[in-house]
Amino acid sequence: MLFHITYEFSPQERNQAQQRFRDTGAPPPDGVTMQGRWHSAGGCKGFMLAESSDAVAISKWTQGWTDLLSFEITPVLTDEEVAEVIG
């Protein structure tokens, strides 16, 4: 299943969030494949597209950042999957 994950952080948390990202690269855990990550040119927000059959693994990935970032996680469907839903 695909997950669209938006993130946002406050300007006050910017330096700490950027440093942690530089230090770790924020890789996904086992069981999660990141399809891509896009960052707002203005900073402080962005989104990721990740694939996993395990919502717990997705939650563990973001949980490690909730001290600095807020997340919205939305399961999403491809065109082919929506075509199957609507017949």
Q: What is the pLDDT of residues 16-61, one digit of tens each?
A: 999 999 999 999 999 999 999 999 998 899 999 999 999 999 999 9
- Give the separation between CA 26 and CA 52, rounded to whole angstroms: 16
Question: Which residue bears the tokens 């910017």?
Answer: 14
| pTM reported for the whole predicted model | 0.91
What tens digit of pLDDT does each residue of 58-80 get?
Answer: 999 999 999 999 999 999 999 99
- Name the residue ranges covered by the structural domains of the chain: 2-86
Q: What are phi and psi of 78, to 5 degrees?
A: -80, 170
- CATH node for 2-86: 3.30.70.1060
